[in-house]
Amino acid sequence: MRIHLSSVFVDDQEKALRFYTEVMGFVPKFDVPVGEDRWLTVVSPQDPDGAQLLLEPSSHPAVKPYKEALVEDGIPANSFAVDDVHAEFQRLRELGVRFTQEPLRMGPVTTAVLDDTCGNLIQIVHQSE
């Protein structure tokens, strides 16, 4: 068994697509109209057939309080592996990304947490071997 799809609730799919592709570096996989919204997924360019991230519209009434509670408590909605948290932190910061947690080493793991501009906190992480 492997992870095929994960989602992040976004307040604006077009804005989310720009952020996750132009800033984070993912590439579009599927963009299919579904009523007023889209089945909109992105993938890592290093693994185009790997797990997809669904940019899920946050129109369900339960989503807003859920997202607000996570952000208020500083809990990331998703976590993305990177080769070097410090280098990715610098690259993203230079692109104007706002971080709520700068790189922090916790034993064999280094993390940083950023605001995806779509109502979520996202963690980047590297685990040293």
Q: What is the pLDDT of residues 43-82, one digit of tens each?
A: 999 999 999 999 999 999 999 999 999 999 999 999 999 9
Secondary structure of residue 51 in the 3-state scheme:
coil
Buried b (16+ CB within 10 A) or exposed e, 72-90: eeeebbeebebeebeebbe
The structural domain count of the chain equals: 1
CA-to-CA separations, 60 to 64, 72, 98, in angstroms, rounded: 8, 19, 26
CA distance 67 to 86: 27
Q: Does position 127 have pLDDT exceeding 90, yes or no?
A: yes
Query: The domain that contains 104 carries what CATH number?
Result: 3.10.180.10
What would the mean pLDDT of 6-28 be, rounded to a whole number?
98
Q: Place 34 in a pLDDT band, splitting at 50, 70 and 90.
A: very high
Q: Which domain holds residue 62?
A: 5-127
- Residues whose CB falls within 8 Å of the CB of residue 38, separated by 6 or more in sequence, listed in order: 13, 31, 32
pLDDT digits (tens, 9 = 90+) for 91-122: 999 999 999 999 999 999 999 999 999 999 99
Q: Does position 128 have pLDDT exceeding 90, yes or no?
A: no
pLDDT of residue 120: 97
